[in-house]
């Protein structure tokens, strides 16, 4: 079995997409299925949510180079998929980052609480100084931690 199939395309962006989609149909469909699982596992998002988030990139792509969307439509047509599926796997990194950033934004504050301050209302374990707790009390949220998350 040839691990990397040779795919030939020519013509307009739509024609190139159709040719690629039909010649690499199984691979494109497997990619969509794989990323559907990745998003479910890593972001907790169902595929409809992923596609909805990916659709937000359609206008900027169209403004930059509309033929990219023609090629995506062609790939989808050739592979027997919806264009939203192919768009989603093409902007997967941006969409995954957005998913993880939203999850982080919903988390509680990260605070620095020295272990010698039991008045905050909890007993500090021996180890780290940085804790995720329900109420930061008098502690200040660490700006670097909020940005990292």
Give the count of domains, the chain: 2
Evaluate whether residue 64 is within a structural domain: yes
Check which CATH number belongs to the domain holding 98 and give it. 1.10.10.2120
Residue ranges making up the domain that contains 67? 13-105
Q: Which residue has the higher pLDDT, 120 or 31?
A: 31
Evaluate whether residue 4 is within a structural domain: no
Residue 76 token pair: 């989808």
Has residue 48 got a pLDDT over 90?
yes
Domain-ending residue, one of 88, 105, 122: 105
Lowest average pLDDT, out of 11-25, 76-90, 106-120, 131-145, goes to 131-145
How many residues are present in the chain?
149
pLDDT of residue 10: 96
**Residue 125 and residue 61 share a domain:** no
pLDDT of residue 102: 66
Give CA–CA dist 67/73, Å, rounded: 10
């Amino acid at each position: 079995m040839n691990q990397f199939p040779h795919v030939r395309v020519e013509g307009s962006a739509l024609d190139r997409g159709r040719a690629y989609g039909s010649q690499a149909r199984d691979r494109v469909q497997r990619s969509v299925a794989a990323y559907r699982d990745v998003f479910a596992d890593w972001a907790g998002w169902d595929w409809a949510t992923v596609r909805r988030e990916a659709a937000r990139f359609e206008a900027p792509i169209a403004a930059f180079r509309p033929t990219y969307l023609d090629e995506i439509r062609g790939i989808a047509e050739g592979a027997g998929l919806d264009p939203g599926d192919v768009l989603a796997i093409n902007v997967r990194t941006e969409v995954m980052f957005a998913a993880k950033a939203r999850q982080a934004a919903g988390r509680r504050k990260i605070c620095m609480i020295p272990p010698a301050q039991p008045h905050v209302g909890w007993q500090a374990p021996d180890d780290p100084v940085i804790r995720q707790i329900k109420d930061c009390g008098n502690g200040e949220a660490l700006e670097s931690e909020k940005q990292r998350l």
